[in-house]
Amino acid sequence: MRIILDTDPGIDDSLAILFLAAQPDIEIVAVGSVHGNVPAPAAAENALRVLDIAGLHNVPVAVGAHRPLAQELRTTEFVHGADGLGGQAGPAPSRRPAGISAAEQIVTLARANPGELTLLALGPLTNVALATLLEPRLPHLLRSVMVLGGALGVPGNVTTHAEANMWHDPEAADLVFDSGFPDMTLVSLDVTEKARADEAWMAALAEISTPRAQFASALLKHYSDFYSRMFGFRTCTIHDPLAAVLLQDPTLAEYKEVVVTVELRGTHTRGQLITDWRNIVDDSDIESKAGQGRTPVRAATSVNTEAFLTRL
Ligand code: BDR
Ligand code: CA
């Protein structure tokens, strides 16, 4: 499988990159950074650092959108550390980002490889939205898309109702869900919150002496320290690697087709995902039909946590 990765490293993004880089059946063709956990230029530098650690010295990394489509930039260093890597960034990466934007990179690669590339979006959807504006045929030029984010039937994480990647750019997310991608999978908090890294798993990782495992372990130490401060327990939700693992092996989850809309105006609910779970057969008398006419996405609804952690 050949993939374009869109990402905001970020602790869990970095774990996902390390996983993907180690898979013989996955080729990371290019990486785009996006604002989110840290600003887009810092996210690109971090992606280059993680690729260095993974030994991938030729994968291009393009800097993506510097701000959301319709709101001010908000980043979440309080979760991921001032450097986005839990204080583990270290020296500058071995090379510089590519000379084009992440959105242009997606469009250029999709046009050059029609029907071949899968897009894995692990951050806010600003670059993906911009790419669909640049190239309206994008949904049919990509093989498939997997999006990490949103909360369908569970609370949000950054606000009571919104998950971080949707909250960082609700307009971009809504545009992407309205773009008609025929093969889109959504890995939301509904499953990531059930696939937590427990202390035994983190301890086992810390025992592995390779530089990659030691780096991953140091990132997780920062992350579980944050969980301990914020929630009073160390077991932490490693969102992005779950999407990466499900990309490689979709059989580790179950799915349901849903139409998704993003709440754009709610005072307390901006960035919330709206889905209609009502199973109505005849909706002709109903006025409010959120997402009417949109292409459904395949949303993961349950996951085999043990198999996921073992694979990772
Ligand atoms: C998402 O938000 C970010 O903090 C993580 O990297 C992940 O992509 C989870 O809500
Ligand atoms: Ca992320």
Ligand 1 atom nearest to CA at 157:
10
Catalytic residue among 13, 161, 239, 240: 239
pLDDT in tens, 42-85: 999 999 999 999 999 999 999 999 999 999 999 999 999 999 99
Report the separation in Å between the CA atom of 134 and the middle of ligand 1, taken as the mean of its atom positions.
26
Distance (Å, rounded) from C-alpha 9 to C-alpha 12? 7
Report the separation in Å between the CA atom of 10 and the middle of ligand 2, taken as the mean of its atom positions.
6
Peptide bond into 87 cis (omega under 30): no
Q: Which residues contact 109 (CB under 8 A, 6 or more apart)?
A: 4, 29, 30, 117
Is ipTM over 0.90?
A: yes
Ligand 1 atom nearest to CA at 168:
2
Helix (H) or strand (E) holding 108: helix 102-112
Residue 165 beta carbon below 6 angstroms from any ligand 1 atom: yes
178 is catalytic: no
Contacts 24+ apart (CB under 8 A), 88-94: 88/215, 88/218, 88/219, 88/222, 89/45, 89/46, 89/49, 90/49, 92/45, 93/45, 93/48, 93/49, 93/51, 93/52, 94/48, 94/52, 94/57
Average model confidence (pLDDT) for the chain? 96
Reported pTM: 0.97
Distance (Å, rounded) from C-alpha 25 to C-alpha 305? 22
Q: Is residue 279 over pLDDT 90? A: no
Ligand 1 atom nearest to CA at 163:
10
pLDDT in tens, 159-195: 999 999 999 999 999 999 999 999 999 999 999 999 9
**Ligand 1 pocket, mutate which of 5, 6, 7, 12 (most atoms under 8 A from CB):** 12
Distance (Å, rounded) from C-alpha 80 to C-alpha 51? 18
